[in-house]
Amino acid sequence: MDTAAPPHLSWPFFTDAHRALAAHASTWVADQQIDPRDTDAACRAWVRALGAAGLLRYTVPREWGGALDALDSRALCLLRETLSAHDGLADFAFAMQGLGSGAVTLGGRDAVRHEWLPRVGSGDAIAAFALSEPNAGSDVGAMTSSAVRVAGGWRLDGEKTWVSNGGIADFYCVFARTDPATTGPKGISAFLVPATTPGLDASARIEVMSPHPLATVQFDGCFIPEDYLLGEEGAGFALAMRTLDIFRPSVAAAAVGFARRALAETLAQAHQRAMFGATLGSQPLAQAIIGDMATDVDAAALLTYRAAWQRDTQEGRTTAVAAMAKLGATELAQQVIDRAVQLHGGRGVRVGEVVERLYRDIRSLRIYEGATEVQRLLVGREVLKAAKGAPVPPT
């Protein structure tokens, strides 16, 4: 794969430090050779390698062993795009260190941050984010996992599913209802739960089309010390949303990386594939399809890095632009990769081909961290909220 810097690095969203980071990551990841056949072992190996390379330090702030003073969305996005273009599991391993520890970064007590975040940044500890339940995925308000006050802390009971890094994580950021009198998103709190906690069972693994560590996790009378409460009691839903505001644009960036790799593979195929006495790339229909692909890649990248730039440089919540980026980039990337498979013909569906892998990799991005349909609702609500009371345009 060509490791040259992607053209969008010249856009004004980035500083020279961002450009240098992307160049370093692109050169580094091209040299990595990690056997993907054992998914758990491969994910652990990626975490160790990313930690040794210093790249995981971008998932935590400098005060707790990170590379920068605060989480930088543009750095996270550039790293995810670069890693996903090389290997989907590399991107997954990086992303979950950030998402899995994000609630600790934002809401953990200093002692807990000092205990866990340096280990996240060095690759010594694997993080997981446990929000969804069997009947409470997009509808977080339907959550039934509960945490009840006991002497010295909390008793946690319930079940979480679709937990990325489930089964290999060293700790889980878990969200549970602490006020049974409330409904909806109110009365939910967040906790750090070490994987060694008695009563925690992550043995129920989930197999998916693009392999990565995934599990249903049971909590049966788990004791959580008071210090492991993240943020304020009852404010867990807001903490989860703040975490997702940071990391949703990075999901879009992973989609951009997949799409950009699909376009690169298609361009190589177009130049090399003989067809009707010329090449595939000389056929007008193929040129038109590639034109659509290139346009969609740039559109996805623009949405993504606009959201990351706004989160890094502007005051206030970035819910709408983060949701637009996640919605637009994942849907556009799916179209790009589908066209790439089509232009590869029979090769495109053969197991082991890059575009076949990308076709499986991209599908889950349209679902996790808020499905496409949820992002549409978020964008619509935010746009309506912003327009409420705005002057009516003249007729």
Q: Residues with catalytic annotation?
A: 369
3-state secondary structure of 209: coil
Phi/psi of residue 60, each to 5°?
Answer: -135, 155
3-state secondary structure of 114: helix
Which residues, at least 6 apart from 4, have a Cβ–Cβ distance to it below 8 Å?
Answer: 26
Helix, strand, coil percentages for the chain (3-state, nearest 5)? 55, 15, 25
> For residue 246, what are the CA distances in angstroms to 66, 153, 186, 333, 394?
16, 29, 21, 21, 37
Total length of the chain: 395
User: What DSSP assignment string belongs to 45-109?
Assistant: HHHHHHHHTTGGGGGSBGGGT-SBSS--HHHHHHHHHHHHHH-HHHHHHHHHHHHHHHHHHHH--
∠ CA 358-359-360 to the nearest 5 degrees? 90
Helix and strand numbers, DSSP H then E, in the chain: 10, 10
Q: What pairs with residue 157 in β-bridges? A: 146
